[in-house]
């Protein structure tokens, strides 16, 4: 099966076909998600809190995003790969945003960028799409605005959300993430826009859904936001495997003959 493209993702909305997107930050997970058939792999700036242990997404750099995205691209045959633009890589000026978007696509191998913001980012989205780099918007709860919002809060201002959604579409984005918005508002936005909406904590009516893969796999301990569904609990399985290894090494049960090499074989 060939590589999925931006026009194919847009067409999925008109066909009424749901779009699936998951995050990945490394080759083996990206390969598995691609094999499973997910349409879009997002190298999110959630890499900061999820992989690097940062308190939030703000410290993530362009270099870190490129490093992780290159790893993801090496594992993907079919899914569209989207790279998140990190905090301060697009907020200073339209020129800098365009330069960083270009660099991130050129060096990482991703096929589209994602950036946070609605009406306030209209010019930036326009400038990037004008040089033929596809942009995925992201409105509602925008984690890079954590300090303005005073934490990760559900966004309920209907007029503002509609204005942002329309601004992102008018600027030329090919899709938009709706994060933590009431289901009724997400439904209205989805009906009004011609580009696909991809929800996280935004209910069933979005054109697609996205989850952070470590949430879906049950790897983030007690962190259980309401919108996350854990499809498997890998955390306890990993602890068990590590404990079995420790016990077997301590008791001399590993390695066994099948795991060793000899001078003459
Ligand atoms: O960074 C990220 O993983 C994201 C998704 C949650 C949409 O932006």
State the pLDDT at residue 222. 87
Residue 45 in contact with ligand 1 by CB distance below 6 A:
yes
Segment 225-247 mean pLDDT: 97
Active-site residue, selected from the candidate residues 179, 187, 233, 264: 179
d(CA 32, CA 215): 16
Strand partners, 210: 21
CA 113 to chain centre: 10
From 21, 179, 199, 202, the mutation candidate for ligand 1 (largest count of ligand atoms within 8 A of CB) is: 179
d(CA 200, CA 31): 23
Residue nearest to atom 2 of ligand 1 (CA): 44
Instruction: Give the containing element (helix H, strand E) for 198.
Output: strand 197-200
At 226 the three-state DSSP class reads coil
Going by their DSSP bridges, the two strands 112-114 and 208-211 should be labelled as: unpaired
CA of 32 to the centre of ligand 1 (A): 19
> What atom of ligand 1 comes closest to residue 46's alpha carbon?
1
> What atom of ligand 1 comes closest to residue 50's alpha carbon?
3
From 25, 44, 116, 142, the mutation candidate for ligand 1 (largest count of ligand atoms within 8 A of CB) is: 44
pLDDT at 47 over 90: yes
Residue nearest to atom 8 of ligand 1 (CA): 44
Question: pLDDT tens digits for 178-214?
Answer: 999 999 999 999 999 999 999 999 999 999 999 999 9
From 46, 116, 225, the mutation candidate for ligand 1 (largest count of ligand atoms within 8 A of CB) is: 46
CA of 77 to the centre of ligand 1 (A): 21
d(CA 261, CA 194): 61
Strand partners, 20: 209
Say whether pTM exceeds 0.95.
yes
d(CA 251, CA 62): 46
Residue 202 in contact with ligand 1 by CB distance below 6 A:
no
CA of 82 to the centre of ligand 1 (A): 11
d(CA 7, CA 2): 14
Residue 84 in contact with ligand 1 by CB distance below 6 A:
yes
**Is 179 labeled as catalytic in the residue annotation?**
yes
Question: pLDDT tens digits for 101-155?
Answer: 999 999 999 999 999 999 999 999 999 999 999 999 999 999 999 999 999 999 9
State the pLDDT at residue 1. 73
> What atom of ligand 1 comes closest to residue 84's alpha carbon?
1
Mean pLDDT of the chain: 97
Going by their DSSP bridges, the two strands 80-84 and 112-114 should be labelled as: parallel
Residue 210 in contact with ligand 1 by CB distance below 6 A:
yes
Residue nearest to atom 1 of ligand 1 (CA): 44
Question: pLDDT tens digits for 49-66?
Answer: 999 999 999 999 999 999
């Amino acid at each position: 099966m060939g590589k999925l493209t931006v026009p194919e993702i847009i067409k999925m909305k008109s066909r009424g076909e749901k779009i699936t997107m998951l995050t990945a930050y490394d080759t083996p997970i990206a390969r598995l998600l691609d094999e499973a058939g997910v349409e879009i792999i997002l190298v999110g700036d959630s890499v900061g809190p999820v992989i690097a242990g940062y308190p939030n997404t703000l410290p993530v750099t362009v270099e870190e995003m490129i490093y992780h995205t290159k790893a993801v691209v090496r594992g993907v045959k079919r899914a569209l790969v989207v790279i998140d633009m990190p905090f301060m890589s697009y907020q200073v000026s339209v020129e800098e945003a365009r330069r960083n978007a270009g660099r991130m696509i050129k060096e990482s191998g991703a096929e589209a960028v994602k950036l946070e913001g609605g009406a306030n980012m209209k010019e930036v989205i326009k400038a990037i799409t004008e040089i033929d780099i596809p942009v995925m918007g992201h409105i509602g709860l925008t984690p890079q605005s954590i300090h303005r919002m005073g934490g990760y809060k559900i966004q309920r201002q209907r007029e503002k959300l509609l204005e942002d959604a329309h601004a992102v579409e008018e600027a030329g984005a090919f899709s938009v993430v709706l994060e933590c918005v009431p289901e009724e508002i997400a439904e209205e936005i989805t009906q009004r826009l011609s580009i696909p909406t991809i929800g996280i904590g935004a209910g069933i009516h979005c054109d697609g859904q996205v989850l952070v893969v470590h949430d879906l796999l049950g790897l983030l301990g007690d962190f259980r936001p309401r919108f996350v569904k854990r499809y498997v609990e890998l955390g306890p399985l990993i602890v068990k495997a590590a404990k079995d290894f420790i016990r077997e090494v301590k008791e001399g049960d590993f390695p066994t003959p099948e795991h060793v090499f000899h001078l003459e074989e």
